[in-house]
Structure 1
Amino acid sequence: MPPKQSERPQALRLILIGLAAGVLAGLFGVGGGMVIVPALTALCGRDQRQAVGTSVMAIGPLAISGTAGYLAAGEVDLFVAVPLALGTMIGAWLGAALLDRFPLALLRWLYAVLALATAIRFLTGPGIAAGQVEHGLLALSLLIPIGVPIGVLAGLTGIGGSTAMVPVMQLGYGLGSAMAKGTSLLVVLPSSVLGAWRNVRNGNGSLRDAGWIGGAGVTTAVATSFVSVALDPRLSDLLFGGLLVLVSIRTVWPDIRRMCTRSG
């Protein structure tokens, strides 16, 4: 049967959300949840928890397609990705389990402050040079506990955790900007699959919406991953710093609006 007339605008909105999320995924090595979650609530009338669940489901296809572009350019570090992925998978499991009972406002403000501090570092000192990558056993094993809170963040907010992973890999492990982004997308993949499975079980999110978003975003994720690899490192860091500023503001903007409404 042809789709109902009322379903077509909804599908178009989901496709546009997916295209925008794919751009962010490929260009910045992030999951795209920072676009998906607010767009689903503002444009499609989904509540916050359903939007987060849908975002986690949609991130998988974006991560696969974006990673493919970085892999083709040799900009993925598997040694760093494996322990970090293990930690984020543990965190994603916990985050999905806590989604219905965790005070999200506290997490939003904590993340916003950390994201803004990291943004200042990127904006005031762009062009962070790639150093000697830390591949020692101790350094790599530390990525597991580092990944756990990042995975919890992804599971609870739908952001994907990449806005935290990329700075960790650049500033703490010596990866260049392109390799940090490519590795981040690879890490996002297993945790997003695990988080999606838990959200489906818990009834958080829509597989249908996620299919539209993820399917539309794969094309832009691949295309912009090649753009990212070719970017000048200084420009890449400036753009990423600007992204972190926007993300930090967007994360707590609903809380700020509520506070302003009460004070008014």
Structure 2
Amino acid sequence: MWQLLLDLLLGVVLGVLGGLFGIGGGMVAIPVLGLLFGLDQMLAQGTALVMVVPNVLLALWRYHQRNRIDWRQALTLGLSGLICAWLAAQWALGLDAASMRTGFAVFLLLLGLYNLARLIWPQRSQKPLLALNWLPLTVLGSLAGALGGVFGVGGAVLATPILTSLFGVGQVAAQGLSLALAAPSTAVTLASYASHGQVDWLLGVPLAIGGLLGIGWGVRAAHALPERVLRGLFSGFLLVSAALLFGH
């Protein structure tokens, strides 16, 4: 009983973080599941997805309520991400779990440093480098979807900084579009991991319930915080997650 309550509480915390950063909580759930529960990288990713999928769907709805999402852009990102996530997940399930964990940690470290550099040395020009049309969005959706299929994080972690830096989209709007990308890709990735027995449902379901309870708080906080503060928290979150993985 106590274990169930602790799992629910952990899910609430992860849900708040997922709503705050528009990432579904998977990036912090994966290292936590490895460190606290001793799951290998594959099982940690599959189990985290049980929580991430409903969290992403709820966060997407909440973001759309507060900041209307362009569904043509969202559909372009989502469809390209869905296809590439499925293909990448099939490939990733044949990889070594230890190598996957190291690769995931390196990616988070690089992405965290990139976001931190953008925070310290902001771009002088706010002019977008790319237009929000179907071709660059398809490329972005494909890359982010493939990343989500490999690491089980939905691809929002890659899409958000690219949307803000190259497309000139605001942080909150970028997180909403990233959630639209992550929703279908996380669902197909979860199905792939489950079909290979890489999901602990008894652990994942309580985390998912707790995440649904906490994600609304995170979304409200994201809309209340100044954009610079939100970007700083996002950078720190990435670096802490990488440190946890390297230390395991």
Tell me by how many angstroms 1:91 deviates: 2.7
Aligned to 2:166, the other structure's residue is in SS state helix
- 8 A contact 1:122–1:241 mirrored in 2: no
Equivalent-residue separation in structure 2 for 1:221 and 1:207 (angstroms)? 20
Equivalent-residue separation in structure 1 for 2:167 and 2:102 (angstroms)? 28
Aligned partner of 1:76: which letter?
I
Equivalent-residue separation in structure 1 for 2:56 and 2:180 (angstroms)? 7
Which of 163, 180, 188 lines up with 1:169 in the alignment? Answer: 163
Equivalent-residue separation in structure 2 for 1:146 and 1:198 (angstroms)? 22
TM-score, scaled relative to structure 1: 0.81
Q: Which residue of 2 aligns with 1:212?
A: 206
Q: Which residue of 2 aligns with 1:111?
A: 107
Q: Greater shift after overlay, 144-153 or 196-205?
A: 144-153
Question: Are 1:12 and 2:5 counterparts?
Answer: yes
Aligned to 2:94, the other structure's residue is in SS state coil
- 8 A contact 2:86–2:189 mirrored in 1: yes
Question: Are 1:231 and 2:225 counterparts?
Answer: yes
Equivalent-residue separation in structure 2 for 1:69 and 1:222 (angstroms)? 7
Q: Greater shift after overlay, 207-216 or 103-112?
A: 103-112
- 8 A contact 2:106–2:242 mirrored in 1: no
Question: Are 1:187 and 2:185 counterparts?
Answer: no
Equivalent-residue separation in structure 1 for 2:174 and 2:132 (angstroms)? 17
Equivalent-residue separation in structure 2 for 1:229 and 1:133 (angstroms)? 25
Structure 2 residues without counterparts, runs of 5 or longer:
none
Equivalent-residue separation in structure 1 for 2:144 and 2:114 (angstroms)? 15
Question: Are 1:120 and 2:116 counterparts?
Answer: yes
Over 3 Å counting, the alpha-carbon distance change for 1:135 and 1:79 in structure 2 is farther
Which of 67, 71, 88 lines up with 2:60 in the alignment? Answer: 67
- 8 A contact 1:112–1:252 mirrored in 2: no
Using the aligned pairs only, state the percent identity. 27
- 8 A contact 1:53–1:196 mirrored in 2: yes
Tell me by how many angstroms 1:105 deviates: 5.2
Over 3 Å counting, the alpha-carbon distance change for 1:28 and 1:129 in structure 2 is farther
Aligned partner of 2:84: which letter?
G
Tell me by how many angstroms 1:15 deviates: 1.1
- 8 A contact 2:109–2:239 mirrored in 1: no
Tell me by how many angstroms 1:23 deviates: 1.0
Aligned to 1:175, the other structure's residue is in SS state coil
- 8 A contact 1:109–1:252 mirrored in 2: yes
Equivalent-residue separation in structure 1 for 2:124 and 2:7 (angstroms)? 36
Q: Which residue of 2 aligns with 1:252?
A: 246
Tell me by how many angstroms 1:133 deviates: 9.7
- 8 A contact 1:128–1:176 mirrored in 2: no
Alignment length (residue pairs):
245
TM-score, scaled relative to structure 2: 0.86
Equivalent-residue separation in structure 1 for 2:245 and 2:34 (angstroms)? 13
Over 3 Å counting, the alpha-carbon distance change for 1:148 and 1:247 in structure 2 is farther
Tell me by how many angstroms 1:248 deviates: 3.4
Aligned to 1:40, the other structure's residue is in SS state helix
Q: Greater shift after overlay, 79-88 or 215-224?
A: 79-88
Aligned partner of 2:116: which letter?
I
Equivalent-residue separation in structure 2 for 1:44 and 1:124 (angstroms)? 36
Tell me by how many angstroms 1:79 deviates: 3.2
Aligned to 1:173, the other structure's residue is in SS state coil
- The runs of 4+ residues in structure 1 deviating greater than 6 Å are 127-130
Equivalent-residue separation in structure 1 for 2:239 and 2:12 (angstroms)? 22
Q: Which residue of 2 aligns with 1:5?
A: none
- 8 A contact 2:55–2:211 mirrored in 1: yes
